[in-house]
Amino acid sequence: MQRLILSILILFPLITVAQEKFTISGYVEDELSGERLIGASVLVDKARGVASNQYGFYSLTLPAGSYGLACRYMGYKPAVKEINLSSDTVVNISLSLGLELKEVQVTASKSGGPRTASSLNYFNPDMETMNRIPAILGEQDLLKAIQFLPGIKGGAENTTGYSVRGGSADQNLILLDGVPVYNVNHLFGFFSVFNSDAIKNVSLYKGGIPARYGGRLSSVLDINMKEGNMQQQHGVLSVSPISARMTYEAPIVKDKAAYIVSFRRTMLDLPMLLYQKLIGLENSAGFNFYDLNAKANWLINPRNRVYLSVYSGRDKQFSKTNRDGINSKYYYKWGNITSVLRWNHQLSSKLFFNTSAYYSQYDLTNLILSKTDERYAKYRASSSLNDLSLTSDMDWYLSPSYTLRMGGKATIMHFAPNIIQTIDDEYETKRNQEDKNTANNLELYAENELTIKKIRANMGLRTVLFDTGEKNYVSVEPRFALKYNADNGLAGNIAFTQMSQFIHLLSNSSLGLPTDLWVGSTDVVTPQKSWQYSAGIEKRFLDYSVGVEAYYKEMENVIRFTEGAVFLSSQNKNWMENINVGQGKAYGAEFMIKKEKGSLTGMLSYTLAWSERQFNEVNQGAWFSYKYDRRHDLSLLGEYQIFKSDWQEKTFSFGFTLQSGNNLSIPDVEYQGLPMPGMEDYLGGIPEWSTVRQTYDNPNNFRMPVFHHLDLGYSTKRIKKQGKSITWTFSVYNVYNRMNPWYYYKDTRGKVKQVSIFPIMPSVSYKYSF
């Protein structure tokens, strides 16, 4: 009974009103493009205030009277208006770019009162600044940039996979316009699928995660695409050694409807294919990837707006050979499709609704075709995940100090992992068809955001029902975050987050081709759970802020793909026979110093962390270090503005990383096994790699040496008339040519050998905006 009463008090507090009040509401937007601004602070008399929500909407309910209304947003000039409040009033605020003193960008949001998480729990990086971070081969990448932040550790060198506070990569919820993205890798993980030219806003939560987010254990990365320019056409053309990008946005009907289209394609395969053709090579091979982002929005009336956004991206590795009368073709393809139709509806000056239907798909296919004049053979292995969801969210601005959010989601997910098909002249065989399954998911949440004088709190509850078809799982997840702001710039916070994860990523322990299998919880494999506690303190003074935060996280039912097992299993096994289920724990402390204003801005961070796992079937049941148990992590990121005027900008940037090495499982024994299904009749003979088997008695038995590198960048932007500009960016990755190990293996004599693939690498990129 006490729990029931507590839940009712958390979810539905009663707000009493003692005098006549009215509401100021509206949208905050960019003056030139009409883009709605997320997280802009709207303050009354420099004290009470709210932040605009994910769609730029804000609402303030106040007693009748005269007020000074101020709006601020990072990188924009503040706007101030005088309001005489005698009835409900709509005030739309337009902000223009430009600040005399530049604020730090790759840090926490400074969007005013509503943020309940500390700066070490929540980050709101600015895309303009992130695009000037030194980048390998001139390709700016969001997922690599956030690895400079405390508590976030990268996987193999220069890859996009990352671990947050001791979790695994699949425990990070990554959203694109509210849609989960199930594969974020291009080029075997060296680049992410996110085109920086199409991104408007990024929010990253590591702790104190609000109840409106769920489905993963470690973090939330919420990415919003640009909406399209409502006022005028605008475009960006970017070229780097890796890819070419083109973004174009324009109004369909001025001030009513707009669209944006962004396309990126790698150019790696073009010179290779041209060279193979010029020399008359009968065999050919190559690799390419592309991304397509498209979004349109229609302002039906001041209270209703509709959005449609689509993303499609795919990688393809291929080869064609003709030898000894045998024609062979090989394809390895993987990619995502996401699409969402969203309706924003302002029911009243206090009530804001968002309803959307989305579809997300991830699939990979490994295809081998081989034929002669007399015989034909085909081998196909595939995996896919389809996610169809309907969501609805409500923001209810009851007062300047209290906002209630509620919502829900209904989801149908279809899993088809490790489906294998073999065909030849005589027979056709399909394996693992029984692994296909459908799961239904229902989620409900309520979230309270309160401000009482110097205290800000976010309290919420999320409830999930997951139906596997054979068993139902129910999860109740309380969330709590509290922050106290003193007058002297000192702030303290505590937070508790309980999360559940009903889908699992089975990832091969070796590095190489992507072999990720998404599977759902079953009647045997139960959902993962986590409990995270954190506490921190932050002090702001002059142009600086200093913060420290400690955390402790417990994890239950974590998944581990059996060492040595591969995606294309040599035995006709169900995927559940190739996994171990156990528990985990992670704890540590994060330190950060930021300089937020002036010509030189930046961040110095240090993380001291432990991450461990335990499985009854592994390591004799004893706890062992997780592969991303990097004890020490030091990062320095900075930018110096050399020159800035109305016609030119010059900046210098630098990034330095020093980390303990990853843990790696080195095989104890290697032997020859049976060939994989379908390879017995492969016309070119059974490949040696398909029969190699390895055993691992001691997990993560090898720690790589200390990892470190220094990157430098220089950017010059020349601003021309009519909004045109040209930007050249020069960067050097790994300035002092540190040969960090990327991978280790055992040679034929049993000796461990190091592989390093990233020496010093200079690059240049070009961007033309019009």
Domain ranges of the chain: 21-95, 122-769
Q: pLDDT value at position 74?
A: 80
CATH of 21-95, one of 2.60.40.1120, 3.30.70.520, 3.40.50.1100, 2.60.40.420: 2.60.40.1120
Burial of residue 545 (number of CB atoms within 10 Å: 0-12, 13-18, 19+): buried
* DSSP category for residue 104: P
Q: pLDDT value at position 253?
A: 95
CATH of 122-769, one of 3.40.50.300, 3.30.1120.80, 2.40.170.20, 3.30.70.100: 2.40.170.20
Strands (E), 645-704: 648-659, 663-664, 669-672, 692-695, 702-703
Q: pLDDT value at position 565?
A: 62
Interatomic CA distance for residues 181 and 223, integer angstroms: 10
pLDDT tens, position by position, 164-196: 999 998 999 999 999 999 999 888 788 899 998
Q: pLDDT value at position 140?
A: 85
Structure-token pair, residue 181:
């993205």
Q: pLDDT value at position 3?
A: 53
Please, how many CA atoms are within 13 Å of residue 745, restricted to the half-sphere of its CB?
Answer: 12
Q: pLDDT value at position 628?
A: 84
Interatomic CA distance for residues 584 and 621, integer angstroms: 12
Strands (E), 156-208: 162-164, 172-176, 179-180, 185-186, 191-192, 199-205
- Residue whose C-alpha is closest to residue 371's, from 343, 408, 329: 329
Q: pLDDT value at position 104?
A: 37
| CA dihedral (661, 547, 551, 222) positive or negative | negative
Interatomic CA distance for residues 293 and 226, integer angstroms: 10
pTM for the complete prediction? 0.89
Q: pLDDT value at position 276?
A: 77
Interatomic CA distance for residues 666 and 700, integer angstroms: 7
Q: pLDDT value at position 443?
A: 97
Q: pLDDT value at position 337?
A: 96
Cβ-contact 211, 479 below 8 angstroms: yes
Which amino acid would we find at residue 634? L
Interatomic CA distance for residues 76 and 102, integer angstroms: 10
Q: pLDDT value at position 594?
A: 92
Interatomic CA distance for residues 498 and 504, integer angstroms: 18
Q: What's the maximum distance between 2 C-alpha atoms anywhere in the chain?
A: 91
Cβ-contact 480, 527 below 8 angstroms: no
Residue reference for tokens 């996994």: 579
Q: pLDDT value at position 228?
A: 93
- Please enumerate, as own/partner, the contacts of 210-213 that have beta carbons within 8 Å and a separation of 24 or more: 210/116, 210/405, 210/447, 210/458, 210/460, 210/479, 210/481, 211/405, 211/445, 211/446, 211/447, 211/460, 211/461, 211/462, 211/477, 211/479, 212/393, 212/405, 212/407, 212/445, 212/447, 212/460, 212/462, 213/173
Q: pLDDT value at position 686?
A: 57
Q: pLDDT value at position 12?
A: 45
Can you list the residues of the chain whose pLDDT is less than 50? 1-2, 4-6, 8-18, 100-118, 509-513, 569-570, 678, 681-683
Cβ-contact 393, 354 below 8 angstroms: yes
